Structure 1
Amino acid sequence: MNARTEDKIDFTKIHKDLYSATVKIKEVNAGRGTFLSIEAIGAPGGPEFQAAIGKLYALAYTTKFGISKPKGLDFKVCCLECRYHIEDPEKTPKEKWRWQLMIRIPDEVSADDLEQARQEIRRRKELETSAVQRVEFEEGRCLQVLHVGPYDQVGVVYEALLKHAADRSLAPSGAAHEIYISDPGRVPPERLKTIVRLPVAEKS
């Protein structure tokens, strides 16, 4: 079930520990959630990446205003998130990075609701969003920190997370996860805020 704030589901308020962070690394527990998700391979920020973002937001907003809200289920469209499924970013060319863009949605939004929204998008925008799927997953124990600055400088933050984990006998146990708090169309690169999350587990 999802808690509600003023009759509107707002995950940034319900899960403040997951959608806020400081420059000090902290440990969080990321429980099961429901997301709109689209996966592909390509350079982050490239044409395919940007097209995928457009499809995600089209489906999220059409579901909110055209399907869910008329049924009495209102929610704030949440932050854009991305999980990177890469074994070694240093050795893998960016055009071969596998990524999973996501937007969190209420658990109550069904596959049928999304199909209705897809049909509406096809009719109104002639845009195909069938690649966007409804997924559920749980990350569990994670380290999390805030990165302030350009996206291409986030590697320094990952190095800090890995060192923090190693110092505590922890090891990465899942995909690197970024949550984009700022709008890059409105905020200059040096002020962009990104939450960086890394699932971890005790070293075996």
Structure 2
Amino acid sequence: MEKYDIKVAHRKLYSPSAKEFVIVEVPTLQYLAMDGHGDPNTSAEYAEALEALYPVAYTLKFESKKVLGRDFVVGPLEGLWRADDMTAFTRREKDSWDWTMLISQPEWITSEMVAQAIATVTSKKAIAAAERVRLETLSEGTSVQILHIGSYDDEAPTLERLHTDYFDAHGLTFNGDHHEIYLSDPRRTAPEKLKTILRQPVRPR
């Protein structure tokens, strides 16, 4: 049985250079999604989101393989980050951040399948927060991205270069939320070795 892996199917989106910004065209993709607010290091909502998203994702994987005969690799955790003032990211003012945590889903996963997976998770594992998980479609289009290696708190200089130098040089501006893709498990990886894709949808200024 062939196993779908978004990192392979969309290799250019999940293996950018760590040396320079690159422009990519991101197709419409769907994700399990859950919203929240605040510092991910201290927010109870953030912990609840991770506690809910992964069980739903794995339940979908097992049911897809069992019922449809279609298996897939559960994708990496991703996050959309937003604030009223985008400089809140370069200043690392985490308490002001709103976010949507994501796990990508193959195109054959439906909202009905997600609803059933949520029902299974809430009944078997008593994870009430799973009821806030939804299936969301995201169309980012033209985006700029780079691979950041190091602590999450060391992203600010790279984001500053993107938001000022790169945008100014290429006549670009924001066209959506700041998007991060976490390729490393922070529980098992030293901060200085963490790999995170930083993506920003853009449009001509």
Instruction: Name the TM-score, length of structure 1 as normaliser.
Output: 0.92
| Secondary structure at the counterpart of residue 131 of structure 2 | coil
Deviation at 1:21, TM superposition (A): 1.3
CA distance in structure 2 between the partners assigned to 1:196 and 1:106 by the alignment: 22
- 1:57-116 CA distance string (max 9 Å, x none): 110001111x21112121100011001121325458422311010000011111111121
Which of these residues, 1, 14, 19, is aligned with residue 19 of structure 1?
Answer: 14
1:32 is aligned to 28
Deviation at 1:123, TM superposition (A): 2.1
Deviation at 1:172, TM superposition (A): 1.4
2:83 is aligned to 86
| Secondary structure at the counterpart of residue 186 of structure 1 | coil
Note closer, same or farther for the CA distance 1:42–1:165 as it changes in structure 2 (3 Å cut): same
- 2:71 corresponds to which letter in structure 1? D
Counting helix residues as a fraction of each chain, which structure ranks higher? 2
In the alignment, structure 1 segments of 5+ residues that lack a partner are 1-5
In the alignment, structure 2 segments of 5+ residues that lack a partner are none
CA distance in structure 2 between the partners assigned to 1:45 and 1:15 by the alignment: 30
CA distance in structure 2 between the partners assigned to 1:45 and 1:30 by the alignment: 29
2:38 is aligned to 42
Aligned length, in residue pairs: 197
Deviation at 1:44, TM superposition (A): 2.0
2:73 is aligned to 76
CA distance in structure 2 between the partners assigned to 1:145 and 1:87 by the alignment: 23
- 1:7-51 CA distance string (max 9 Å, x none): 111000000111111222111001100100001111123232122
1:61 is aligned to 58
- 1:129-158 CA distance string (max 9 Å, x none): 111100101101111001111011111111
CA distance in structure 1 between the partners assigned to 2:88 and 2:6 by the alignment: 35
Alignment of 1:138-153 (within 5 A): 138-153=139-154
2:176 is aligned to 174
